[in-house]
A and B are shown apart, each in its own frame.
Chain A
Amino acid sequence: MLAESLALTAALFIIGVIGVLIHRNAIIIFMCVELMLTAVNLTFVAFSRFYGTAGQVFVVFVMTVSAAEAAVGLAIIISIFRHRQTVDLKNINLLRG
């Protein structure tokens, strides 16, 4: 039972990673990051089924932090959009050396 759960979460995580790597739209990348977080949350829950409830407590923490992160992240993205009329990361490279 644990193995199947972990396989599912790993699949979700990899989908998130691939999404981050192949997309250029900031919003989509942002959603993929959320997907990765969710995959990790699911892992916690799966482990808590076998090793006690500590994992579920962590899930609450992660959701809180990710909500805050989402708020800040979206605000940044909106700000970038207002400034440059685009959220395509290809055009945002101010830190180039």
Chain B
Amino acid sequence: MLLQSAVSAASQVHPLSGTIAEWVWLLPILPLAGFAINGLLSLAGAPFGPSDPTAGGHGHSDTGSDASGTSHIEQAVEGAEAEDDHHAVKRHRWAGVVSIIGPGVLILSFLLAIAIWQAMAGAQPSAPFIQRYFSWMPVGDLQIDAAFQLDQLSMVMILVITGVGALIHVFSVGYMRDDPGYPRYFSYLNLFVFFMLVLVLGANYPVLFVGWEGVGLCSYLLIGFWFNDKVNADAGKKAFIVNRVGDFGLLVAMFMLFANIGVLDFIGVSAKAGDLVAGSSLVTAICLFMFLGCTGKSAQIPLYIWLPDAMAGPTPVSALIHAATMVTAGVYFIARSAFLFSLSPVASLTVAVVGAATAIFAATIGLKQWDIKKVLAYSTISQLGYMFIGVGVGAYVSGMFHLVTHAFFKALLFLGSGSVIQAMHTAYHKTHSDEDAQDMRNMGGLKRYLPITCVLMWIATLAISGIPPLSGFFSKDEILGSVFARAQGSTLASASWLGIPGGTLLYIIYAIGLAAAFLTAVYMTRMMLYTFHGPVRTGAEEEKSLHEAPWIMTGPLVILGVLTVFGGWLNLPEVVTDIIPLGPRELLAHWLDPVVGEASARITAGAAQVPATTEQALIAAAVVIAVAGIVVAMVRLKPDRLPRKRDAVPEHGFEGVVANKYYVDEAIDRTIVEPTYAVSRNFLWRFIDNGLIDGLLVNGSAALARGFGWIGSRLQTGNVGIYAWVLVVGVLAMLGALTLR
């Protein structure tokens, strides 16, 4: 079925047809196959889930020399095992096979992606390459095909997903190998990559939506991967439910598109987008509903609350799903829908404003977090805000550029924190301590034990802070520069947003972006200082067990480190290459020009060229601010005097409010969750369900039928004489009716 692909849309032959790009369907199919195999191995080797109380018990009774005996032990779980084999490695029976298949399919996918990228770089297609596989929803006027679209934008995403994804898969082998649910973990991870590739390859909104929902499902499954702890299962549910709110917006946007344009494929919509009145309330409404979906998936205000909780999942999952790929789907979505967003300055400004607000808001929370992964989670939210500023002001290339570099350095940071957490966890596990292995107050001085991780995480920290010439410097600076450049003369500057002139608003956003960059440098340096420097607070006994991660974990870190350093070469700005000839300039901008160039030009139309000296001044200011952030953190923070977690006193005043994340979760509990519970319990359940539906409708109709049945049964006297009378009277009545008619 998949092989019966046919080139469509363009009547002339596409430059990519007949090349390796025809094999694009294999990209997602490879991880799907990995999902199927790993899933079957998971089912074959152990009962579903990490805990099975029945399997734990008899593992010890028949610990024979045969293979089945060991497999029983492997099925046993953390916590359920006996004290004597507490430290025994309970590796899954099929762990060896899974270690090859899980990352293997991703590496194959990545190699295929490189080959397709090469073909595309050679062909330089100006139109997207569409592959139709079959008709999915032929319903009257609604014609939706299961089709993939390959263009420069999806190519960038594919390379990030399969490339960074493959590295994280390899890292996972080291991180998760001893987990009893190892095959299940890899099957979920492979399934995630499959859906993510469907998301970026879909040629129309419904196919994209399938991927969109699929990655949400995998996110849910992996957040709640250790579902024995209710906290983890709850975090998964929270992520899923909060995302539903956003998905509602996405669905409404699709309905509105179909109702007003009649098509849902990207080519069709972009062709007919010209019919829509630019700046009309219809376009704005469609874009805002789309953006609601993006705030859910990409954790922006007001729907960001699920991402910090999502850190309950395994750390490589946080790296892949909740930092590098899935959460950037919203940015990709807006870049993909640039032809719509560029028509609505109000919606675009909304995107930028929400992005800026999220960037600064999350950055302040990140200042006061103690859990190393929570710091990175809020950092991710903040950086996603940056990306939304970029795509919001119509700098789609800058947004995508930051997406790519962020995937590099944030994956590096998360994986680095993973190797820290594993070292900490192993140390505490050995001494049976119940201290928190993720709390920075229990760390400190780890650079002695994890030197490679420490150096690489410092590189990523400098990159995210915006220190040249690391990747984050270029991408972040380009976003800020784009905001500044569009503040005068562009269509955004001449529009107004809630009464504020667009130009003024853009300057405010620029200032907020700078402030957020400062805070980013502060909280990242804080994290590094508390984790790797100062005295070791882990504990004297535990300190002996701390050690660097194995090469299978540090290897991907090193590669990501190289990418973090050189990621900026993807899109060197002209103003830099003019002074220092580092290499070819604006590669990514040229690459993405066929996809987003037109939309971007629509927004920048009329914008004045910013003089080179001004640009240089802006860059200098950004660098100064980043350095200032790092210096401030270095000077103000005293890792030597930090108490351990159990000795820590809670913060008071404004610091306490920030440490408690501005009480947003509590506020949402009070205003939305608890009233919903109350209404559900007292009105919907007790009154509607129990009273009205069960009482009146279900039992009521049964009682009614019983009543009529009782009346009917009274007619059946069993007396033949009465039957005869009824018969005769009936016949006479009929005869009478016939004769008297």
Contacts and interface: CB of A to CB of B under 8 A. Distances in A.
A21 B725 contact: yes
Contacts of B636: none
Contacts of B715: 97
Contacts of A95: 716, 718
Nearest to B725: A21
A93 B718 contact: yes
A76 B712 CA distance: 28
Contacts of B719: 89-90, 93, 96
Interface in A82-97: 89-90, 92-97
12 contacts: A20-B724, A21-B724, A21-B728, A89-B720, A90-B721, A92-B720, A93-B719, A95-B718, A96-B719, A97-B712, A97-B713, A97-B715
Contact of A96 (B712, B716, B721, B724): B716
Contacts of A94: 718
Contacts, number: 32
A96 to B, nearest CB: 3
Interface in B715-741: 715-721, 724-725, 728
Nearest to A26: B720
A24 interface: yes
A17 interface: yes
Contacts of B720: 29, 89, 92
B646 interface: no
A96 B728 contact: no
Contact of A93 (B712, B717, B725): B717
Given A97-B712, A97-B713, A21 B721 contact: yes
Contacts of A29: 720
In this complex, the member of B714, B716, B721 whose beta carbon has the largest number of chain A beta carbons within 10 angstroms is B721
> What are the 10 tightest A-B residue pairs by CB atom distance, in nearest-first order?
A97-B716, A93-B718, A96-B718, A97-B713, A95-B718, A89-B720, A93-B719, A20-B724, A96-B717, A21-B724
A17 B718 contact: no
Interface residues of B, number: 13
Contacts of A17: 728
A95 B723 CA distance: 11
A24 B718 contact: no
B714 A97 contact: yes
Interface in B235-276: none
A36 B209 CA distance: 79
Contacts of A21: 721, 724-725, 728
Identify whether the interface residues of B are mostly helix, strand, loop, or mixed.
Answer: helix
Contacts of A90: 719, 721
B723 to A, nearest CB: 9
Nearest to A92: B720
A20 B723 CA distance: 11
B734 to A, nearest CB: 15
Contacts of A24: 721
A22 B719 CA distance: 13
Contacts of B713: 97
Interface in A24-68: 24, 29
A29 B721 CA distance: 10
Contacts of B716: 95-97
A54 B370 CA distance: 109
In this complex, the member of B714, B717, B719, B728 whose beta carbon has the largest number of chain A beta carbons within 10 angstroms is B719
B714 to A, nearest CB: 7
Contacts of A93: 717-719
Nearest to B709: A97
A97 B710 CA distance: 9
A89 B714 contact: no
Nearest to A17: B728
Contacts of B721: 21, 24, 89-90
Contacts of B718: 92-97
Nearest to A96: B718
Nearest to B717: A96
Contacts of B717: 93, 96-97
Given A92-B720, A96-B718, 15 more contacts: A17-B728, A21-B721, A21-B724, A21-B725, A90-B719, A90-B721, A93-B717, A93-B718, A93-B719, A95-B716, A95-B718, A97-B713, A97-B715, A97-B716, A97-B717
A81 B154 CA distance: 93
Contacts of B724: 20-21
Nearest to B715: A97
Nearest to B731: A17
Nearest to A18: B728
A9 to B, nearest CB: 16
Nearest to B710: A97
A77 to B, nearest CB: 12
A70 B406 CA distance: 100
B227 to A, nearest CB: 57
Interface string B134-172: 000000000000000000000000000000000000000
Interface in B405-436: none
A94 B719 CA distance: 9
A31 B713 CA distance: 31
A89 B728 CA distance: 18
Contacts of A92: 718, 720
Nearest to B720: A89
Contacts of B712: 97
